[in-house]
Chains A and B, each alone.
Chain A
């Protein structure tokens, strides 16, 4: 594994190029360019605000910030996985003709989304100023949460990217699972609304835990119980290592099939 990581590091230039290529292609021919990475979640948030503040009337303080603290990490999670799932099968041409560590494809899909995510976090600056959200020292934990989320996404990406080479259904299945998970994550509703007796199952979804942590560090809302945080972190680590080992073991079969 360490050898493989070293090899990946040797190809850092490629990762950089692929990420830049991803971003460039993404915003080519669009007038607003990078602004879309901000506009996209804002518009979605606006939609939810209309629905849940005026129609359903959820009673949540600072609902726009509340929503965005979950929507942005969720967007990162979702678009990374959707990018990664086709990253191997969609690049079959390259994979069959040039050698380099194939992990690079899902990895660069995640990295370009990470950059997008970090940029989109900037929308918080004006919002926090306008809505006078009280920040806490907890904010310093933000990079750590992002790290854990990257591990989770990374491991899952390696699994789905690999499997999609064999079954094109994986991409469709993933879309469905993601929309299911969207509702099983406290994004547009607070964690408190989840009935107590389901909570111990509900919090086994690492994204639910991660979103709650994001809310803690940005809005200083209460954390879920520590043991669930622990489980989520361990789960992310295990998924990452498992995905890596799985991907590596099956790499040769995959390349022949792609």
Chain B
């Protein structure tokens, strides 16, 4: 079988000017002075990959890493300055919504205009015209000028056109993030259908769920280079690791455990498999009658050994900072320390430290109680307390699951003895988070909720993952 796309040592260079020489005068001036104020910037370099016919390839990476440039090279918009590109077959691209639309013309006229931009004859468009209109769901507006369309309507029309023209290679950039959810679902269905038809797809996205769902293989682009390629799971994980160099993101790793801290939420992985759900490990505070949680704080990373995460987060609406230290102590133990720094006097009624886990877990236990998690009903909006807080203790955990279809290790959260005011608790979340919760909570006496300026130790404890 012939490959649909082949890139060999592809590089493209852009000339960055300090100031754009927009006028002749300036450039003549620079010419006379004998200096050009520009820098060469390699947006992509040494890029090698192939895509088989009918394959779906995802391209991920941070903003400005070169993903879109790569897609533009595939689309033929840019020619590479070095290397070789081969794209076989008819290419249809959806690089930006509304590109090629004309506001003064009606939806119908725009369909033909857009088709012709792809080099498709009127007769061919005629054949799929009704499918395009039907898919976009814009029957009623098709003779309205585009300037009266909402952005969502333009998205629909754009995708409908790109997906219905007969092509061998379809390039899609990020656009599906726009548009309502039901239309997104429709788009994914259409993409699956195109995959079945043997269309080669290249898909750039920040939506990791979409990438995981659609792509057979994923490339990770970082600063103009391909730094990882392979199955979606491994590459996406590597992507999160590269993200960790950014502010508010930190990673600790000591095989088989790894922790990914992301702006107040922490995911826990065992052998590259995520055990947590939603916000994972996080903290919340009840103060002045409102819940504030760590995912709303502004976090900064501090230097730490590779098996540790040290971060500080400034709460947005409260005058306080939390210092977290997360350390993978051994192959089954994670140490978590939380301190609080009050920048001004503050009133705090409750502290919660929670670990959100997969809903695959079925049984919970505390030192003197145990029970089953009830299924979380669709539509449930409350978190449901499962144990009795009066029968406290220093630990709460979930039992491991060992079935052929599902293997989950038991997990226990234990606090250090000096923090007696915390109570262990097991809960079910609402149906959106759909997780099991292990939690330590502290409810302050109504007359002892004021914290003066200063630094307070809040919590020390461990998360123990049951050994095999």
Interface residues of A (CB under 8 A from B): 10-11, 13-14, 16-17, 21, 24-25, 28, 93-100, 166-170, 173, 251-252, 255-257
A98 touches which of B15, B25, B102, B117 (Cβ 8 Å)? B117
B93-128 residues at the A interface, CB under 8 angstroms:
93, 95-96, 99-100, 102, 104-105, 112-113, 115-122
* Total A-B contacts with CB atoms under 8 angstroms apart: 75
Asked if B79 CB lies within 8 Å of chain A CBs, one says yes
> With A167-B23, A169-B24 given, is the CB distance from A13 to B116 under 8 Å?
yes
B residues touching A (Cβ–Cβ < 8 Å)? 14-15, 21-25, 27, 72, 75-79, 81, 91, 93, 95-96, 99-100, 102, 104-105, 112-113, 115-122
**B14 to chain A: which residues have CB within 8 Å?**
256
CB pair A28 B104 closer than 8 Å: yes
Contact in complex: B99, A97 (CB < 8 Å): yes
Measured between beta carbons, the chain A residues less than 8 angstroms from B113 are: 17, 21
A13 and B120 in contact, given A97-B77, A167-B24, A169-B24 (Cβ under 8 angstroms): yes
Please, could you name 23 A-B residue pairs with CB atoms under 8 Å apart, sorted by A? A11-B116, A13-B119, A13-B122, A21-B105, A21-B113, A24-B104, A24-B105, A25-B104, A93-B99, A97-B95, A97-B96, A98-B77, A98-B93, A98-B99, A99-B76, A167-B21, A169-B23, A169-B24, A169-B25, A252-B81, A255-B77, A255-B78, A256-B14
Chain B residues with CB below 8 A from A98, complex form:
75, 77, 93, 95, 99-100, 117-118
Residue of A nearest to B115 (CB): A13
Q: In angstroms, how far is the closest chain A Cβ from the Cβ of B117?
A: 5
Cα separation A244 to B127 with both chains bound (whole Å): 35
| Complex Cα gap A168–B26 (Å) | 11
Contact call B27/A167, Cβ cutoff below 8 A:
yes
| A100 near B117: Cβ-Cβ < 8 Å | yes
Q: Does the CB pair B23–A256 fall under 8 Å?
A: no
Q: Which of B79, B96, B116 contacts A14 (CB 8 A)?
A: B116
Q: Which residues of A contact B100 (CB under 8 A)?
A: 94, 97-98
What residue of chain A has the Cβ atom nearest to residue B76's Cβ?
A99
CB proximity of A30 to chain B, nearest CB, Å: 13
Which residues of B are found within 8 Å of A169, using beta-carbon distances?
23-25
Given A17-B113, A99-B93, A252 contacting B78 (CB threshold 8 A): yes
Assess the B77–A21 pair: CB atoms within 8 A.
no
Is there an interface contact between B96 and A11, defined as CB atoms closer than 8 Å? no
Chain B: which residue is nearest A256 at the CB level?
B14
Known pairs A13-B121, A252-B78, A256-B15; A21 contacts B102 (CB<8 A): yes
Q: Chain B residue with minimal CB distance to A99?
A: B76
What is the CB-to-nearest-CB distance from B150 to chain A, in angstroms, rounded to a whole number? 20
The distance from the CB of A104 to the nearest CB of chain B, in whole angstroms, is 10
Q: How far is the CB of B329 from chain A (nearest CB, A)?
A: 52
**B96 CB contacts on chain A under 8 angstroms:** 97
Contacts of A11 in B (CB 8 A): 116, 119
Given known A-B contacts A97-B100, A98-B117, A256 and B78 have beta carbons under 8 A apart: yes
A100 to B92, CA, bound (A): 11
Chain B residues near A252: list those with CB within 8 A: 78-79, 81
- Assess the A96–B104 pair: CB atoms within 8 A: no
Chain B residue with the shortest CB-CB distance to A11 = B119
Taking CB as reference atom, which chain A residue is nearest B74? Answer: A99
